[in-house]
Chain A
Amino acid sequence: MRTRGSGVGSRGSSRESGTGSRGSETGNGPDAADLLATTDNLAGSAPTPDTRHATPAEPNWPLLYTVVLAELVTLIVAFYAFTKAFA
């Protein structure tokens, strides 16, 4: 069992929730996959299939949550307008 933060409101969340299952199971040091990806970026070359799989982009969670809430607010406003328009 891991001993990092719960992934909630902690800085450890992104590592744990993202690629941790592949890259960082065995220790707290930098992932080999992360290093490979960094090397690729420095070299300006396309990532190999392996590194592409090992380092998927971590979503910007606060932004995603905001998008979901914004969609809800938009729907409520649209539904209200719909209700009033045909009442």
Chain B
Amino acid sequence: MRPVDWIVLIGTLVTIVSYGVWKGRHRKNLDGYLLAGRQLQWPTIALSIMATQASAITFLSTPGQAYADGMRFVQFYLGLPIAMILLAIVAVPIYHRLKVYTAYEYLETRFGPKTRVVTASLFLAQRGVSTGLTVYAPAVIVSLLLGWNIHVTNIGIGLLVIAITVGGTKAVSRTHVHQLLIALAGMAVALTIAIRSLPTDVSLFDALHVAGKMGRLNVIDFSFDLKTPYNFWSGIIGGTLLMLSYFGCDQSQVQRYLTGETVQQSRLGLLINGMIKVPMQFFILFVGAMVFVFFQFTAPPLFFNSAAQNKVVKTRFASQYAALEQTHAATFASKRNGMREMLAAMHSGDNVRAAAAAFRVRALQSIDADTHKAAAALIAKADPAADTNDTNYVFLSFVIGFFPAGVVGLLLAAIFCAAMSATASGLNALSSTSVVDVYRRFISCDANDRDCVRMSKMLTVFWGLVSIGVGEFASHVGSLIEAVNRFGSFFYGTILGVFVLAFFFSKVGDVAAVSGAVVGQIAVALCAIFTNTAYLWWNAVGCVVGVLAALVIQTFLPGVGSRVSGVGEAET
């Protein structure tokens, strides 16, 4: 890091945090503190929703995912617009009408306290760990590649987020806008530099052909396969259910659109998110695809986690690793020649020669992939604690190695902003749920607004420290974005099932809903442990099994009346 990078990084972070602290002052009542006084307009809501979902993992890991696996990950988001529409129709009017602070508060008015406690607890457990990962993810990558102390980095990010989040939801939502814009600007700069850094005789059109021939532009795959993690069907079906659960039942998102001044503002915020998110993810993945093309003409390291690589060369495996590096260098040289031959054939219109060259290049790519696997195995032998998945290190290695002074600082600021935005929403929601669904409901039922706001601030600090603690213990999580989504998918289907029962099945009561949730969660666990079903389908399993189990159980229980309306029902 050069001095100008430090100036850009520190300047950006100080500005953002100061702005957040300033925006968060003078919040004395609970409505103002937890829901920004329910005064926000749709542009802020939409950007806040997007900033919450787009964590540092999104900006670090997603380009790496495209580098290693192509752009098919975009299919994960295909269900998002559908989910936004369904939530705008079903959930938003109900939440607004009941003026709830949390999604789980609604479940008590609909079922009873048991369901509220179970779902709030599931949320606190799941979000507590996930928020820790969103702090840890950038900390570990940045510290390893820049040689910073991991503990200092992790604690530093955590404390910055706590400083913003203690200011309440308005501070969080307002800073989200700036954080997301900085993060997206950083990615736009990265894409520009990646394309401009290609050899002068390789045009953007050539780059697209290289990426496509190497399987990195595999955006849509219509084949139906339950074991493939990302295809059209898993995205549309599993993705819709995951997004319904994430945006409809996860307080970190529900809290964003509960801040809307009216139902109209909240709905518009969700719908705009539904329109922008898929192209935005495509754009981030495309950056990764272009980084892949860049490394077809500029030699990439054998292993992108340079810290792990530096360790292995100091062990008895050094000579074996050096041999692998030689193989990698030779394969790269042959592959680059093959690429040039393929492009020359394409330019001259010789499709047969181009296809033959593409076939050879793919064979060389396969050899290089085997060399990479062997290197990862050696690194694991040399240091069993080392992270042998270097997908998360690809993008930042590219930034640090090839970006000009000042731009590295901007990209790091973008990554830190993304980390802060997602973590702030997580802490904000954890604090709200703890206060509204636990403290004010079971511990101090007569607490006034001032007590609740004070407790919210204390719990924000508490959950911030928990997140830092999770980050301190986290390791071996592979592709971080996949790890977070897999972890979420484990619980989200079950939670969604409870909300589906609440919205659409007025005859189901508290006991049946909780029992159904338990059965649904067991079904997901069995599915995850004993089958190879891709994780997006766990959402469908948890939701469908949970709902069906609750309906069956309800038939054996005394009839119940709906306490509060679901969809299209009169209130009682």
Contact = CB atoms under 8 A, between A and B. Distances in A.
Contacts of A86: 208-209, 211-213, 217
A68 B225 CA distance: 27
Given A80-B220, A83-B218, A86-B209, A8 B567 contact: yes
Interface in B211-230: 211-213, 217-222
A7 B263 contact: yes
22 contacts: A1-B97, A1-B98, A5-B568, A6-B567, A6-B569, A7-B263, A8-B90, A8-B94, A8-B568, A13-B93, A17-B93, A17-B264, A56-B264, A58-B264, A61-B89, A65-B85, A72-B82, A79-B74, A79-B219, A80-B220, A83-B212, A87-B212
B98 to A, nearest CB: 7
Q: Chain B interface residue count: which class?
A: 35 or more
Contact of A75 (B209, B261, B278, B569): B278
B282 to A, nearest CB: 7
Nearest to A82: B219
A47 interface: no
A69 B234 CA distance: 18
B224 to A, nearest CB: 15
Given A9-B568, A16-B97, A82 B217 contact: yes
B567 A68 contact: no
B81 to A, nearest CB: 5
A68 B85 CA distance: 8
B489 interface: no
Contacts of A71: 81, 275
Interface stretch (B186-194, B266-274, B384-392): B266-274
B219 A6 contact: no
Interface of A: 1-3, 5-10, 13, 16-21, 56, 58-59, 61, 64-65, 67-69, 71-72, 75-76, 79-80, 82-83, 85-87
Contacts of B278: 72, 75
Contacts of B78: 72, 76
A70 to B, nearest CB: 10
A64 B96 CA distance: 20
B contact face: mostly helix, strand, loop, or mixed: helix
B103 to A, nearest CB: 16
B210 to A, nearest CB: 9
Find the residue from A2, A6, A9, A13 having the highest chain B CB count within 10 A.
A6
B1 interface: no
Contacts of A5: 568, 570
A6 to B, nearest CB: 6
Interface in B222-275: 222, 232, 261-264, 267-268, 271, 274-275
Nearest to A80: B220
Find the residue from A8, A71, A85 having the highest chain B CB count within 10 A.
A8
Contact of B93 (A7, A69, A76, A82): A7
Given A7-B97, A18-B262, A72-B82, A59 B567 contact: no
Contacts of A7: 92-94, 96-97, 263
Contacts of B222: 80
Given A65-B271, A72-B78, A86-B209, 19 more contacts: A1-B98, A1-B99, A3-B571, A6-B565, A6-B567, A7-B97, A7-B263, A8-B89, A8-B90, A17-B263, A17-B267, A18-B262, A18-B264, A61-B267, A75-B278, A75-B279, A79-B220, A86-B208, A87-B217
Nearest to B503: A8
B378 interface: no
Interface in B276-300: 278-279, 282
A8 B262 contact: no
Nearest to A21: B262
B40 interface: no
Given A68-B81, A86-B211, A16 B219 contact: no
Contacts of B82: 69, 72
A76 to B, nearest CB: 6
B66 to A, nearest CB: 13
Contacts of B93: 6-8, 13, 16-17
A16 B92 CA distance: 11
Contact of A17 (B98, B262, B275): B262
A68 B274 contact: yes
A60 B515 CA distance: 40
B97 A72 contact: no
B49 interface: no
Nearest to A86: B212
B84 interface: yes
B57 to A, nearest CB: 23
8 cross-chain pairs, A with B, having the tightest CB-CB distances, nearest first: A86-B212, A7-B93, A17-B263, A79-B219, A80-B220, A72-B81, A79-B220, A8-B567
B36 interface: no
Contacts of B74: 79
Interface in B10-34: none
B88 interface: yes
A61 B270 CA distance: 13
A22 to B, nearest CB: 8
A72 B434 CA distance: 37
A65 B96 CA distance: 20
Nearest to A3: B571
Contacts of B209: 86
A83 B221 CA distance: 9
A63 to B, nearest CB: 11
A2 B274 contact: no
Interface in B34-76: 74
B306 to A, nearest CB: 31
Contacts of A10: 568
A80 B231 CA distance: 12
Find the residue from B97, B232, B262, B275 having the highest chain A CB count within 10 A.
B97
Contacts of B262: 17-21
B85 A6 contact: no
Nearest to A9: B568
Contacts of B81: 68-69, 71-72
